[in-house]
């Protein structure tokens, strides 16, 4: 039935109920059979008009009654009560008569008949509408609102191929009860028993409130059954309409490592982005593209997507245009090492805010190509920062790394040099320059997760550098939110750091991923390959000299400024192409650590540069 036909049917049905009810109720309550009088006829006419007005106001004709619940019944009661009350008021004002008993009985008839007609839709659907009887027997972990919603959807959708048969819940008051004709069989620890009793073929974890540690425990219990286990999609994706409730996802390592997300200062961010021109460098990368997605929610005047790789820029441009057609998007293909091109772009676009995410991040590759790390991470940042200053940008936010703290790798050292450049620029420019430092990002290009997954698909083993190696982890959306929040908090010169909780052992990460893939560690195996050049056993987010104890925002810290020899940094970025790779690696680490540089070494470098000139 189409929307128009549905609307006409409901209007006709309600009209019949309204007219029929008031006359039949008057007839039942009359002591003798008296002719229909003008009061009754006028009351019926007024009641009909007012009812349809109330029905329109409470959207009774727009609701999907096959999914009706107590909320929809409440709307019917409100509409009927108001229409009856106004009709009674009309009787008193116009006719100085008040058919109280008739109106009370009419109210009851309306609620019963109109409510009953709507609920009949729901009862028919529940009794005959489901055609998903042949799906896989599914156990739902969690009998709360989320679990009930999942059960209701699965019972009606044929496409999912899943048939709910039972709940598990740790709420003792629900044990032994039935929800939607499904038993609450036991507590979550009873997964094995439930799987055996009901011949379960699929498990859905439907408890969005679980913390990562609790989710880990549930996943471990489910993993022992060898039954495929999935969880609900992220609630924010459901709310934004990106996915349906029943588009379940496999439990990811991100779910097990997640922390309570940082709550954004929405008003502060809106003030810094809404109706502003925002430029993102490295916009096609993992972090840069997510920054663009997050920024788009705040209605900027324009987003400028700047990147070196045309395919990745095209990809994020098409994604944003499809999801937000009204968004003003511009693209620029440029290398941040090309200063003149950057100057021209910034002069033309005149952005208010710049998020600088372009960088080389792969530690082993940068160890083998140190000159490229210096040119892109240090010199590229210098070019972008100077272009921002030249174009009078309001706020410049640079994406940094925990590897910039006491660096042992070229990548980390060049990131520290970039931080120094940004902090120096803040002292000589009206633009507010800040950096944001965080740990490893799960799912980003070059992260360990895709590598581990590929190794598991190939039958193993999973390679881990060292059994004691630990890292901080965060998700791409969380990292991007931190960067955007830093832009709103920026006063100038800060290095913002997220409280990333406890570090995670890489070997534990590998074990969890193997388990989530449906295997045991013995089946896949773990091989220790040894620490690679430039890697640390553990990472730091702030050095001892940088630590500020107080948070500037929930879960966000700001580091103290340290002394910077900016001339040394700038001279090195200019001269690095004249040096051998080993010299570059030595010098960049020395400068980044703030170590004393011997005069004869500086003289040797200068002589070599002069000779080449």
Q: Which of 3.40.50.720, 1.10.1370.30, 3.40.50.620, 3.40.250.10 would CATH assign to domain 266-593?
A: 3.40.50.720
pLDDT at 532: 72
Q: Which position has the higher pLDDT, 255 or 522?
A: 522
- Strand (E) or helix (H) holding 43: helix 38-57
290 with 283: CB under 8 angstroms? no
CA-CA-CA-CA torsion for 243, 246, 250, 253, nearest 10 degrees?
50
pLDDT band at 234 (very low <50, low <70, confident <90, very high): low
The highest-confidence range among 28-42, 201-215, 551-565, by mean pLDDT, is: 201-215
557 with 496: CB under 8 angstroms? yes
Q: Which position has the higher pLDDT, 589 or 477?
A: 589
Q: Residue 599: pLDDT above 50? A: no
Q: Residue 603: pLDDT above 50? A: no
Q: Residue 537: pLDDT above 50? A: yes
Q: How do 440-442 and 504-505 pair as beta strands?
A: unpaired
pLDDT band at 414 (very low <50, low <70, confident <90, very high): very high
136-251 with 266-593: one CATH topology? yes
pLDDT at 75: 87
The highest-confidence range among 31-35, 191-195, 214-218, 551-555, by mean pLDDT, is: 191-195
> Which of 512, 505, 547 lies closest to 528, judged by CA?
505
Q: Tell me if residue 555 is catalytic.
A: no
pLDDT at 610: 42
What would the mean pLDDT of 57-77 be, rounded to a whole number?
Answer: 76
What would the mean pLDDT of 457-466 be, rounded to a whole number?
Answer: 87
Q: Residue 501: pLDDT above 90? A: no
pLDDT band at 613 (very low <50, low <70, confident <90, very high): very low
Range in 76-80, 446-450, 560-564 with the lowest mean pLDDT: 560-564
Q: How do 551-553 and 470-471 pair as beta strands?
A: unpaired
pLDDT band at 597 (very low <50, low <70, confident <90, very high): very low
Domain boundaries, the chain: 3-129, 136-251, 266-593
Per-residue pLDDT tens over the stretch 166-209: 999 988 888 888 887 788 998 988 999 999 999 898 998 888 77
pLDDT at 534: 64
pLDDT at 297: 87
Q: Residue 282: pLDDT above 90? A: yes
CA-CA-CA-CA torsion for 98, 101, 103, 108, nearest 10 degrees?
170
Q: Residue 541: pLDDT above 50? A: yes
pLDDT at 235: 56
Structure token pair of residue 330: 């511009």
pLDDT band at 254 (very low <50, low <70, confident <90, very high): low
pLDDT at 601: 41
Q: Which position has the higher pLDDT, 388 or 256?
A: 388
Range in 201-205, 244-248, 290-294, 320-324 with the lowest mean pLDDT: 244-248
pLDDT at 81: 93
Write out 460-486 in H/E/C secondary structure.
CCEEECCCCCEECEEEHHHHHHHHHHH
572 with 591: CB under 8 angstroms? yes
Q: Residue 372: pLDDT above 90? A: yes
Range in 113-127, 177-191, 258-272 with the lowest mean pLDDT: 258-272
The highest-confidence range among 286-300, 491-505, 521-535, 536-550, by mean pLDDT, is: 286-300
pLDDT band at 611 (very low <50, low <70, confident <90, very high): very low
Listed in order, strand segments (DSSP E) in 198-293 are 202-205, 228-231, 249-250, 277-281
Phi and psi at 141, nearest 5°, equal -90, 110
Q: Which position has the higher pLDDT, 234 or 129?
A: 234
Share of the chain above pLDDT 90, in %: 27
**Averaged pLDDT of the chain:** 81
Helices 212-223 and 506-516, interaxial angle, to 10°?
Answer: 50
pLDDT at 609: 35
pLDDT band at 596 (very low <50, low <70, confident <90, very high): very low
What would the mean pLDDT of 539-549 be, rounded to a whole number?
Answer: 56
Q: Which position has the higher pLDDT, 27 or 550?
A: 27
The top-level CATH class assigned to 136-251 is alpha beta
pLDDT at 133: 56
Task: Indicate which residue of 403, 432, 536, 555 is catalytic.
Answer: 403
* Cα 470–Cα 444–Cα 388 angle in degrees, nearest 5: 110
310 with 385: CB under 8 angstroms? no
Q: ω into residue 253 within 30 of 0, thus cis?
A: no
> Which of 136, 138, 130 lies closest to 155, judged by CA?
130
pLDDT at 612: 39
Share of the chain above pLDDT 70, in %: 80
Per-residue pLDDT tens over the stretch 320-338: 999 899 999 999 999 999 9
pLDDT at 327: 93
What would the mean pLDDT of 379-404 be, rounded to a whole number?
Answer: 93
Q: Residue 396: pLDDT above 90? A: yes
pLDDT at 598: 41
Range in 100-109, 387-396, 512-521 with the lowest mean pLDDT: 512-521
Number of CB atoms found within 10 A of residue 440's CB: 24
């Amino acid at each position: 039935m189409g929307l128009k036909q549905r609307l006409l049917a409901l209007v006709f049905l309600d009209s019949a109920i309204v007219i029929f009810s008031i006359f039949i109720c008057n007839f039942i309550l009359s002591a003798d059979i008296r002719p229909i009088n003008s009061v009754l006829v006028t009351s019926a006419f007024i009641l009909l008009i007012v009812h349809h007005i109330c029905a329109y106001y409470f959207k009774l004709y727009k609701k999907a009654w096959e999914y009706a619940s107590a909320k929809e019944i409440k709307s019917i009661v409100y509409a009927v009560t108001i229409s009856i009350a106004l009709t009674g008021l009309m009787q008193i004002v116009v006719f100085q008569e008040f058919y109280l008993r008739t109106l009370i009985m009419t109210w009851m008839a309306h609620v019963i008949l109109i409510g009953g007609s709507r609920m009949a839709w729901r009862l028919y659907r529940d009794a005959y509408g489901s055609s998903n009887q042949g799906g896989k027997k599914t156990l739902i972990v969690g009998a709360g609102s989320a679990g009930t919603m999942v059960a209701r959807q699965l019972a009606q959708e044929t496409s999912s191929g899943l048939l709910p048969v039972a709940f598990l819940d740790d709420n003792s008051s629900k044990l032994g009860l039935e929800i939607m004709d499904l038993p609450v069989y036991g507590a979550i620890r009873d997964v094995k028993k439930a799987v055996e009793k009901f011949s379960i073929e699929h498990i859905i974890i439907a408890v969005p409130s679980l913390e990562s540690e609790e989710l880990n425990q549930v996943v471990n219990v489910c993993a022992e059954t060898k039954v495929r286990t999935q969880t609900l999609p992220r609630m924010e994706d459901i709310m934004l309409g990106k996915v349906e409730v029943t588009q379940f996802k496999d439990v990811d390592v991100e779910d097990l490592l997640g922390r309570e997300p940082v709550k954004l200062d929405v008003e502060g961010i809106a003030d810094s982005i809404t109706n502003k021109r925002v430029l993102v460098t490295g916009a096609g990368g993992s972090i840069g593209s997510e920054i663009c997605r997050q920024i788009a929610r705040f209605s900027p005047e324009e987003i400028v997507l700047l990147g070196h790789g045309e395919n990745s820029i095209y990809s994020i441009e098409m994604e944003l245009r499809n999801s937000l057609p009204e968004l003003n998007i511009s693209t620029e293909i440029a290398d941040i090492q090309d200063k003149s091109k950057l100057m021209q772009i910034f002069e033309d676009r005149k952005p208010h805010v710049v998020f600088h995410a372009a960088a080389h991040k792969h530690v082993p590759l940068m160890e083998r190509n140190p000159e490229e790390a210096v040119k892109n991470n240090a010199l590229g940042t210098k070019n972008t920062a100077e272009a921002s200053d030249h174009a009078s940008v309001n706020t410049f936010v640079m994406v940094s790394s925990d590897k910039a703290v006491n660096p042992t790798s070229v990548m980390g050292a060049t990131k520290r040099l970039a931080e120094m450049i940004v902090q120096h620029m803040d002292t000589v420019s009206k633009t507010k320059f800040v950096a944001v430092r965080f740990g490893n990002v799960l799912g980003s290009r070059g992260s360990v997760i895709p590598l581990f997954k590929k190794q598991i698909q190939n039958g193993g083993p999973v390679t881990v550098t060292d059994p004691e190696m630990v890292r901080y982890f965060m998700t791409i959306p969380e990292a991007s939110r931190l960067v955007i929040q830093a832009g709103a908090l920026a006063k100038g010169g800060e290095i913002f750091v997220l409280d990333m909780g406890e570090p995670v052992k890489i070997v534990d990460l590998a074990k969890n991923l193997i388990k989530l893939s449906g295997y045991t560690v013995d089946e896949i195996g773990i091989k220790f390959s040894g620490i690679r050049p430039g890697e640390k056993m553990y990472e730091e987010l702030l050095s001892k000299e940088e630590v500020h104890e107080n948070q500037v925002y929930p879960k966000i810290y700001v580091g103290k400024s340290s002394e910077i020899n900016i001339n040394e940094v700038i001279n090195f970025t200019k001269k690095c192409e004249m040096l051998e790779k080993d010299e570059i690696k030595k010098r960049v680490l020395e400068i980044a650590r703030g170590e004393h540089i011997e005069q004869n070494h500086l003289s040797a470098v200068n002589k070599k540069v002069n000779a080449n000139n």
